Structure 1
Amino acid sequence: METKKVLPILFLVMFLVMVGFGIIIPVLPFLAEKVGGNPTELGLLMAVYSLMQLFFAPMWGRISDRIGRKPVMMIGIAGLALSFFIMAMANSLWVLFVARIVGGILSSANMPTTMAYVADITTPEERGKGMGIIGAATGLGFVFGPAIGGIFSKISLNVPFYIAGISSVITLVLVMILLKESLSLEKRSQHTENKESMWKAFKGPTTIIFILQLIVTLSMAGLEATFAYFAAKKATIDTVQLGYIFMIMGFGGAIVQGGLVGPMTKRFGEGTVIRIGVFVSAIGFVLILFANSFWTSAVFLTIFGLGNGMIRPAISALLTKNSSTGHGSVTGLLSSFDSFGRIIGPPLGGWLFSISIGLPYISGAILSIFALLLYQIYSTQTRKVKQSV
């Protein structure tokens, strides 16, 4: 399978998946309110999706090791489409919850399976580049999706959900027609015979990398949950300007992931890229404290986004290169830790913000330094393991 031909297809698939997901983000709170939901119930509606992903992503990753990537990817995209159409027709809050639960369970197959697909078709040297391209697709999807959702919500609150559903169906057809299976029958049978737990990937020095990803996601989710309030108070930024700021950050992150992560991991290795990414993120957290206008907010948040954008692709490449379990098992477990961070990050960030408006960003910088120390521990332990072999 020629990697140069397949990666653009995977980019398009993940871009469309994330556009569909992004379309509903600005509209879901208003739809929930329309069917009788209050802010607490909206919070639960958002959290239940991540909760389902926390539990089911490792399972789908493991299944993709046994039956192949393509069928599991199709299940994930079909589940996303189904959840969007259910939400489009929802006339009560419990129907929205059903849609989010179904969507969370099934669509949790998408990210780990796509990353496992990339790991299947790339050499260890090109792994970082492949993971970066998927990260860029994800970032750009989140840039364009909310803008599309906001525009079409003016017609009706239901229209964006229908558009997201149709987008997912188109994506499903593209996967059916254009993507070939990346996992050979021989490797599938090997994983089928392997009865070890999916948690085998979570042992030894690699445990530290999963925890590092959790810390990175947690601090980022805390920033995302509080930055609107911080920017409004410190720089009198309104919702439209905030949308532009996140769009600028999204483009910056996508450029780094799609264009820089690959060459950097190839030349310096994943470890160096992870450390650079965490260090730049820490600088971004500190600079955000000094934001006092639209442009300083945009520049400082983008600096954070540039650093943060390097970390996940490099971690994915590192884990898939060093894991003895199937690629799907390790990427599924990584997605689970990502979801855990997204569950606890926003309420933790909100609580810190209530104590002091700068505290989520101070704690983010401190957690970044802790993440650097964690990577140093991982590096030392890995060296000792290699020397003892």
Structure 2
Amino acid sequence: MKKKYLPLLFLIAFLTMLGFGIIIPILPYFAENIGASSLQIGILFASYNVMQLLFAPIWGALSDRIGRKPLISFGLFGFSITFILFGIADTYTEMLAYRILGGIVSAAALPTVTAMVADVFPSDERAKGMGVIGAGIGLSFVFGPAIGGFLSPYGFSVPFFASGGVAFLTFLIILFALPESLPKEKRTGQTREKKGNVFSVLFGPLSLMYGIMFVVSFAFSGLETTFALYINHLYGFTSKDLGYMFLVMGIISAFVQGGLIGRLVKRLGEPLVLTIGLALYGIGFFTIPLAASFWTLALTLSLFGAGQGMIRATGTAMITQRTSQGQGVTSGAISSMDSLGRILGPLAGGAVYGWFASGPFIIGGVLMVIMLVLFRTRYHRLPERAEA
């Protein structure tokens, strides 16, 4: 059964995040072009994720009741409309409104894809499944920022229209080609097993793992918010240069997740692979202030590409293997932690950048060291796998 689902889920993850990746090099410049400050740019990033934080658990619980496909379809259709609207915005207020609406509707999409992987893959193969989906996401960051950089000379709105078109194409693929992964008899409306809510999930035995997902998201989203401004203000690099840098990062991330995660987990185990990922993130953060050329900055981003592949795939697999709740609720909780990091990270990154340009990266490196120490001293206290 997993052979039937995996290529489609890979394609859906790739196309979903391709639309998101297209606008990464553009959004800070687009907002700055209409007079937004670095803090206001941080608010734009954060507002999207505030809605993701609030609505991902709701959509996740609903997917446990009605199935995965309706929620993914709804999320991608909403993603398409709101990105097109953002592209025609000409005031900061309009941008903020469309980001908020986009966060609400798109929160139903990618977390539900993660729940689908957990539905289909047995516990001992889940890291590999998450890795393949992560490879799709990684490849989207190969092509997405590069496409955004290529389209930006034609106007800042054009990449957003392209993102909306890609999202609508993905919606059509889901509608006509993606089968449902959660049988009716396993939905929470049909059984009393595996019911739960986001609070019982987040503050349960897996709180350490959710904390890691939050801190990684917090630190990296601070980088996303400020890196474009940093390399432009200090070295004069443009959005096109940034697109090429993300191209290098995406290639590394896709290679690690699609080709190496399964082998690494089988040889080293998930805890050690996650440890290596955190270490690579930490090295990357501390190296950014030392890098000054295109290639040193691009190679530094490649550390994040490799680390992201290890952290996302193994962290998500470890949580879904050990959860006692429904996979929709669990995936929603993972997404909430990611979103909470993306709420606070851009705000902190934008504020610190205005005070000290290298500050967001140094703080990120310190946080990775803390998480690395906590994980290595406490991971053995995690509950056993919940399924064979």
TM over 0.5: yes
**Cα deviation digits, residues 330-354 of structure 1 (max 9, x gap):** 1111111111111211332344445
Please state how far the C-alpha of 1:381 moved relative to its aligned partner.
2.2
**Cα deviation digits, residues 46-80 of structure 1 (max 9, x gap):** 32111111111111111111111111111111111
Amino acid aligned to 1:226? T
Q: Map of 1:120-139 to 2, 5 A cutoff?
A: 120-139=119-138
Please state how far the C-alpha of 1:90 moved relative to its aligned partner.
4.1
| 2:210 matched residue in structure 1 | 210
Give the distance between the partners of 1:165 and 1:242, measured in 2 at CA: 21
| 1:65 matched residue in structure 2 | 64
Give the distance between the partners of 2:186 and 2:216, measured in 1 at CA: 32
Amino acid aligned to 1:279? A
| 1:225 matched residue in structure 2 | 225
Please state how far the C-alpha of 1:236 moved relative to its aligned partner.
5.9
Give the distance between the partners of 2:241 and 2:153, measured in 1 at CA: 19
Instruction: Work out whether residues 54 and 337 of structure 1, in 8 Å CA contact, stay in contact via their aligned partners in 2.
Output: yes
Amino acid aligned to 1:38? A
| 2:78 matched residue in structure 1 | 79
Is 1:291 equivalent to 2:281 in the alignment?
Answer: no
Please state how far the C-alpha of 1:13 moved relative to its aligned partner.
1.0
Instruction: Work out whether residues 218 and 345 of structure 1, in 8 Å CA contact, stay in contact via their aligned partners in 2.
Output: yes
Q: Map of 1:83-122 to 2, 5 A cutoff?
A: 83-90=82-89, 93-122=92-121
Instruction: Work out whether residues 140 and 250 of structure 2, in 8 Å CA contact, stay in contact via their aligned partners in 1.
Output: no
SS of equivalent to 2:224: helix
Is 1:255 equivalent to 2:250 in the alignment?
Answer: no
Give the distance between the partners of 1:312 and 1:48, measured in 2 at CA: 23
**Cα deviation digits, residues 128-185 of structure 1 (max 9, x gap):** 1111122222222233223323434444544433332222221111112221100111
Give the distance between the partners of 1:357 and 1:158, measured in 2 at CA: 28
Q: Map of 1:23-42 to 2, 5 A cutoff?
A: 23-28=22-27, 38-39=36-37, 41-42=40-41
SS of equivalent to 2:204: coil
Give the distance between the partners of 2:98 and 2:236, measured in 1 at CA: 36
Please state how far the C-alpha of 1:30 moved relative to its aligned partner.
5.9
Is 1:52 equivalent to 2:51 in the alignment?
Answer: yes
Give the distance between the partners of 2:236 and 2:153, measured in 1 at CA: 25
Aligned sequence identity (%):
43
Please state how far the C-alpha of 1:317 moved relative to its aligned partner.
0.5
Please state how far the C-alpha of 1:200 moved relative to its aligned partner.
2.0
Query: Structure 1's 290 and 260: CA in aligned 2 closer, same or farther, altered over 3 A?
Result: same
Query: Structure 1's 149 and 303: CA in aligned 2 closer, same or farther, altered over 3 A?
Result: closer
Instruction: Work out whether residues 270 and 314 of structure 1, in 8 Å CA contact, stay in contact via their aligned partners in 2.
Output: yes
| Cα RMSD for the two superposed structures | 2.7
| 2:331 matched residue in structure 1 | 331
Please state how far the C-alpha of 1:247 moved relative to its aligned partner.
1.6
Q: Which moved more, 1:142-151 or 1:213-222?
A: 142-151
Q: TM-score, normalised by structure 2?
A: 0.89
Q: Which moved more, 1:263-272 or 1:187-196?
A: 187-196
Give the distance between the partners of 2:147 and 2:91, measured in 1 at CA: 24
Instruction: Work out whether residues 235 and 294 of structure 1, in 8 Å CA contact, stay in contact via their aligned partners in 2.
Output: no
Q: Map of 1:177-188 to 2, 5 A cutoff?
A: 177-188=176-187
**Cα deviation digits, residues 6-43 of structure 1 (max 9, x gap):** 21111111111112223334444565577x66335544
Gaps of 5+ in 2: none
Instruction: Work out whether residues 209 and 378 of structure 1, in 8 Å CA contact, stay in contact via their aligned partners in 2.
Output: no
| 1:346 matched residue in structure 2 | 346
Give the distance between the partners of 1:213 and 1:191, measured in 2 at CA: 31
Q: Map of 1:137-176 to 2, 5 A cutoff?
A: 137-176=136-175
Gaps of 5+ in 1: none
Q: TM-score, normalised by structure 1?
A: 0.88
Query: What is the number of equivalent residue pairs in this alignment?
Result: 383
Please state how far the C-alpha of 1:95 moved relative to its aligned partner.
4.0
Query: Structure 1's 320 and 372: CA in aligned 2 closer, same or farther, altered over 3 A?
Result: same
Instruction: Work out whether residues 116 and 331 of structure 1, in 8 Å CA contact, stay in contact via their aligned partners in 2.
Output: yes
Query: Structure 1's 376 and 28: CA in aligned 2 closer, same or farther, altered over 3 A?
Result: closer
Amino acid aligned to 2:373? L
Q: Which moved more, 1:65-74 or 1:242-251?
A: 242-251
Give the distance between the partners of 1:28 and 1:370, measured in 2 at CA: 31
Give the distance between the partners of 1:191 and 1:37, measured in 2 at CA: 53
Please state how far the C-alpha of 1:233 moved relative to its aligned partner.
6.7
| 1:322 matched residue in structure 2 | 322
